[in-house]
Amino acid sequence: DTGVSQNPRHKITKRGQNVTFRCDPISEHNRLYWYRQTLGQGPEFLTYFQNEAQLEKSRLLSDRFSAERPKGSFSTLEIQRTEQGDSAMYLCASSPGRRSDRNQPQHFGDGTRLSIL
């Protein structure tokens, strides 16, 4: 198990374009989280899935952002009509979701660094 996997590692795109990131969690982890981290700041929560259900969404997640986890395994985060302010590191994390594992910590991926030109 290589841990949480994210791709691409880097994405450079022009303002106004759409981008999609992928996250593969640790196998058998039911919970999946997306965070955003800008320079000099700690990660900020965006959204959370329990299996395929999106259970929490931050106010940071504007209408241009959409996340899916269709089969309860990998997840995608899409940003439409990108803006300069979307430039950040997008982190994915996963954790077990069974009752017995409720207090297990979140494991993070390497992130996808998005740069908007």
- How near is the Cβ of 28 to other proteins at its closest, in Å? 17
Count Cβ neighbours within 10 Å for each residue of 35-44 and write b for 16 or more, e otherwise: bbeeeeeebe
- How near is the Cβ of 37 to other proteins at its closest, in Å? 8
Q: Which is nearer to other proteins, 4 or 82 (CB)?
A: 4
User: Residue 65's beta-bridge partner residues?
Assistant: 79
The torsion of the CA quartet 98, 7, 66, 30, rounded to 10 degrees, works out to: -10
Q: Which is nearer to other proteins, 13 or 44 (CB)?
A: 44
- How near is the Cβ of 8 to other proteins at its closest, in Å? 15
- How near is the Cβ of 51 to other proteins at its closest, in Å? 13
> 88-95 and 31-37 as β-strands: parallel, antiparallel, unpaired?
antiparallel
d(CA 15, CA 98): 41
Q: Which residues bind other proteins (CB under 8 A)?
A: 3-4, 31, 33, 35, 40-45, 48, 55-56, 58, 91, 95, 103, 105-111
